[in-house]
Amino acid sequence: MKKRLVSVISFLLMCAGIILGLSLSVRKEEEVISINTSVDDFIHNEEVKVENKNEEYFMALEIPSINLKRGIYEKGSYLNNVNLNILLLNESDTPDIENGTVILASHAGNMDSSYFRNLYKLYNGAKVYLYYEGVKYEYEIVNNYEVNKTGKVKIKRESIGNYIALITCISHSNKQIVFIGIQK
Protein backbone atom coordinates (compact mmCIF):
# COMPACT_ATOMS: atom_id res chain seq x y z
CA MET A 1 0.00 0.00 0.00
CA LYS A 2 2.83 2.41 0.89
CA LYS A 3 4.59 1.66 -2.42
CA ARG A 4 1.42 2.41 -4.34
CA LEU A 5 0.89 5.72 -2.44
CA VAL A 6 4.51 6.75 -3.09
CA SER A 7 4.07 5.89 -6.79
CA VAL A 8 0.87 7.94 -7.06
CA ILE A 9 2.46 10.93 -5.29
CA SER A 10 5.56 10.68 -7.51
CA PHE A 11 3.38 10.56 -10.63
CA LEU A 12 1.38 13.61 -9.49
CA LEU A 13 4.56 15.58 -8.73
CA MET A 14 5.99 14.66 -12.13
CA CYS A 15 2.78 15.85 -13.86
CA ALA A 16 2.85 19.10 -11.88
CA GLY A 17 6.48 19.66 -12.91
CA ILE A 18 5.67 19.11 -16.59
CA ILE A 19 2.70 21.50 -16.44
CA LEU A 20 4.80 24.14 -14.68
CA GLY A 21 7.60 23.75 -17.24
CA LEU A 22 5.17 24.11 -20.13
CA SER A 23 3.54 27.20 -18.63
CA LEU A 24 6.96 28.86 -18.14
CA SER A 25 7.99 28.17 -21.75
CA VAL A 26 4.67 29.58 -23.03
CA ARG A 27 5.11 32.70 -20.85
CA LYS A 28 8.66 33.19 -22.16
CA GLU A 29 7.44 32.90 -25.77
CA GLU A 30 4.66 35.45 -25.09
CA GLU A 31 7.22 37.92 -23.68
CA VAL A 32 9.40 37.62 -26.79
CA ILE A 33 6.41 38.12 -29.03
CA SER A 34 5.28 41.18 -27.10
CA ILE A 35 8.77 42.76 -27.28
CA ASN A 36 9.01 42.15 -31.03
CA THR A 37 5.48 43.44 -31.49
CA SER A 38 6.39 46.63 -29.61
CA VAL A 39 9.20 47.40 -32.06
CA ASP A 40 7.03 46.52 -35.07
CA ASP A 41 4.19 48.66 -33.72
CA PHE A 42 6.54 51.61 -33.28
CA ILE A 43 7.84 51.18 -36.80
CA HIS A 44 4.26 51.48 -38.01
CA ASN A 45 4.01 54.80 -36.13
CA GLU A 46 1.72 53.66 -33.33
CA GLU A 47 2.15 54.85 -29.75
CA VAL A 48 3.90 52.12 -27.76
CA LYS A 49 4.72 51.73 -24.09
CA VAL A 50 7.60 49.42 -23.29
CA GLU A 51 6.52 46.68 -20.92
CA ASN A 52 7.37 47.44 -17.27
CA LYS A 53 9.46 50.49 -18.21
CA ASN A 54 6.82 53.24 -18.57
CA GLU A 55 8.90 54.90 -21.30
CA GLU A 56 8.26 55.10 -25.00
CA TYR A 57 10.73 54.70 -27.81
CA PHE A 58 12.02 58.03 -29.12
CA MET A 59 12.83 56.59 -32.56
CA ALA A 60 13.49 53.18 -34.10
CA LEU A 61 16.34 51.74 -36.14
CA GLU A 62 15.93 49.14 -38.87
CA ILE A 63 18.77 47.53 -40.84
CA PRO A 64 17.22 44.86 -43.08
CA SER A 65 20.53 43.37 -44.30
CA ILE A 66 21.41 42.27 -40.75
CA ASN A 67 17.81 41.70 -39.63
CA LEU A 68 17.90 44.40 -36.94
CA LYS A 69 14.82 46.27 -35.68
CA ARG A 70 15.21 48.08 -32.37
CA GLY A 71 13.65 51.00 -30.55
CA ILE A 72 15.89 53.89 -29.45
CA TYR A 73 15.32 55.85 -26.25
CA GLU A 74 15.64 59.60 -25.77
CA LYS A 75 18.99 61.04 -24.65
CA GLY A 76 17.84 61.78 -21.09
CA SER A 77 16.33 58.34 -20.48
CA TYR A 78 18.02 55.91 -18.11
CA LEU A 79 17.28 53.30 -20.82
CA ASN A 80 19.48 55.20 -23.31
CA ASN A 81 22.48 53.22 -22.13
CA VAL A 82 24.89 51.13 -24.20
CA ASN A 83 24.75 48.36 -21.58
CA LEU A 84 20.96 48.09 -21.98
CA ASN A 85 20.11 49.25 -25.50
CA ILE A 86 21.44 51.02 -28.56
CA LEU A 87 22.87 54.32 -27.31
CA LEU A 88 21.82 57.62 -28.89
CA LEU A 89 24.91 59.75 -28.20
CA ASN A 90 24.49 63.20 -26.65
CA GLU A 91 26.26 64.76 -29.66
CA SER A 92 23.63 63.26 -31.97
CA ASP A 93 21.07 65.25 -33.93
CA THR A 94 17.61 64.01 -34.86
CA PRO A 95 17.13 62.88 -38.48
CA ASP A 96 15.02 65.94 -39.34
CA ILE A 97 17.83 68.46 -38.61
CA GLU A 98 19.36 69.89 -41.77
CA ASN A 99 23.00 68.77 -42.18
CA GLY A 100 22.70 66.79 -38.95
CA THR A 101 24.16 63.45 -37.94
CA VAL A 102 22.42 60.75 -35.91
CA ILE A 103 25.09 58.90 -33.91
CA LEU A 104 24.28 55.46 -32.49
CA ALA A 105 26.51 53.01 -30.62
CA SER A 106 26.05 49.47 -29.36
CA HIS A 107 28.07 46.47 -28.26
CA ALA A 108 29.19 43.83 -30.75
CA GLY A 109 29.88 40.88 -28.44
CA ASN A 110 27.64 38.08 -27.21
CA MET A 111 25.75 39.91 -24.44
CA ASP A 112 21.99 40.43 -24.56
CA SER A 113 22.67 44.12 -25.27
CA SER A 114 25.01 43.42 -28.23
CA TYR A 115 22.61 44.77 -30.84
CA PHE A 116 25.44 45.62 -33.28
CA ARG A 117 26.97 42.12 -33.18
CA ASN A 118 26.36 41.75 -36.95
CA LEU A 119 27.19 45.32 -37.94
CA TYR A 120 30.46 44.13 -39.49
CA LYS A 121 28.34 42.53 -42.26
CA LEU A 122 27.22 45.96 -43.57
CA TYR A 123 28.47 46.97 -46.98
CA ASN A 124 28.45 50.14 -49.08
CA GLY A 125 24.96 50.53 -50.48
CA ALA A 126 23.22 48.79 -47.54
CA LYS A 127 20.00 50.51 -46.44
CA VAL A 128 19.42 51.80 -42.92
CA TYR A 129 16.07 53.23 -41.80
CA LEU A 130 15.22 55.51 -38.90
CA TYR A 131 11.62 56.07 -37.83
CA TYR A 132 11.12 59.39 -36.09
CA GLU A 133 7.94 61.40 -35.42
CA GLY A 134 5.92 59.43 -37.96
CA VAL A 135 8.50 59.74 -40.76
CA LYS A 136 10.69 57.02 -42.22
CA TYR A 137 14.22 58.30 -43.01
CA GLU A 138 16.31 56.25 -45.42
CA TYR A 139 20.11 56.16 -45.32
CA GLU A 140 22.61 54.37 -47.53
CA ILE A 141 25.95 53.18 -46.14
CA VAL A 142 28.73 54.96 -48.03
CA ASN A 143 31.82 54.42 -45.90
CA ASN A 144 33.32 52.58 -42.94
CA TYR A 145 36.59 52.96 -41.09
CA GLU A 146 38.35 51.81 -37.94
CA VAL A 147 39.47 54.04 -35.08
CA ASN A 148 41.30 53.40 -31.83
CA LYS A 149 39.01 52.83 -28.86
CA THR A 150 39.70 56.05 -26.93
CA GLY A 151 36.19 57.21 -26.05
CA LYS A 152 36.24 59.74 -28.90
CA VAL A 153 35.34 59.19 -32.56
CA LYS A 154 35.75 61.64 -35.39
CA ILE A 155 32.79 61.36 -37.77
CA LYS A 156 33.96 61.63 -41.39
CA ARG A 157 31.27 63.27 -43.49
CA GLU A 158 31.79 63.30 -47.23
CA SER A 159 29.72 66.39 -48.09
CA ILE A 160 26.79 68.49 -46.95
CA GLY A 161 23.76 66.39 -46.07
CA ASN A 162 22.19 64.35 -43.31
CA TYR A 163 24.15 61.38 -42.01
CA ILE A 164 23.95 58.43 -39.66
CA ALA A 165 26.98 57.03 -37.84
CA LEU A 166 26.84 53.51 -36.40
CA ILE A 167 29.65 52.70 -33.99
CA THR A 168 30.68 49.42 -32.38
CA CYS A 169 33.80 47.75 -31.06
CA ILE A 170 35.77 45.15 -32.98
CA SER A 171 35.96 41.92 -30.99
CA HIS A 172 39.31 41.06 -29.41
CA SER A 173 40.77 44.40 -30.44
CA ASN A 174 41.38 47.89 -29.10
CA LYS A 175 39.57 49.32 -32.14
CA GLN A 176 36.08 50.44 -33.07
CA ILE A 177 34.44 50.43 -36.47
CA VAL A 178 32.31 53.32 -37.71
CA PHE A 179 29.77 52.94 -40.51
CA ILE A 180 28.61 56.15 -42.20
CA GLY A 181 25.34 56.43 -44.10
CA ILE A 182 23.94 59.41 -46.01
CA GLN A 183 20.24 60.24 -45.99
CA LYS A 184 18.48 59.67 -49.31
Half-sphere exposure of 183 (CA within 13 A, CB side): 19
> Rounded mean pLDDT of 100-117?
92
Identify whether residues 107 and 165 lie together within a single domain: yes
Question: Is 3 among the domain residues?
Answer: yes
Q: What is the pLDDT of residues 158-179, one digit of tens each?
A: 788 999 999 999 888 899 999 9
Identify whether residues 73 and 105 lie together within a single domain: yes
30: domain range?
Answer: 1-48
**Which of the two residues, 113 and 179, has the higher pLDDT score?**
179
Question: Is 13 among the domain residues?
Answer: yes
Q: What is the pLDDT of residues 29-80, one digit of tens each?
A: 332 222 233 333 444 433 333 443 567 899 999 999 999 999 999 999 999 9
Neighbours of 55 (CB within 10 A): 14
The answer to whether residue 94 scores a pLDDT higher than 60 is: yes
Element (H, E) at 17: helix 2-43
Question: Is 92 among the domain residues?
Answer: yes
pLDDT score of 2: 59
Question: Is 175 among the domain residues?
Answer: yes
Q: With contact defined as beta carbons under 8 Å apart, do 138 and 155 qualify?
A: no
pLDDT score of 3: 59
pLDDT score of 6: 52
The answer to whether residue 101 scores a pLDDT higher than 80 is: yes
Question: Is 53 among the domain residues?
Answer: no
Question: Can you tell me the distance from the alpha carbon of 181 to that of 138, in angstroms, rounded to the nearest whole number?
Answer: 9
Identify whether residues 94 and 148 lie together within a single domain: yes
91: domain CATH number is 2.40.260.10
Identify whether residues 42 and 65 lie together within a single domain: no
The answer to whether residue 26 scores a pLDDT higher than 80 is: no
Identify whether residues 68 and 137 lie together within a single domain: yes
Q: Per-residue confidence at 130, pLDDT binned at 50, 70, 90? A: very high
Identify whether residues 38 and 66 lie together within a single domain: no
How many domains is the chain built from? Answer: 2
Question: Is 9 among the domain residues?
Answer: yes
Identify whether residues 81 and 166 lie together within a single domain: yes
Identify whether residues 109 and 170 lie together within a single domain: yes
Mean pLDDT of the chain, nearest integer: 78
**Which of the two residues, 137 and 170, has the higher pLDDT score?**
137
Question: Is 54 among the domain residues?
Answer: no
Identify whether residues 154 and 66 lie together within a single domain: yes
Q: Per-residue confidence at 5, pLDDT binned at 50, 70, 90? A: low
> Rounded mean pLDDT of 76-105?
94
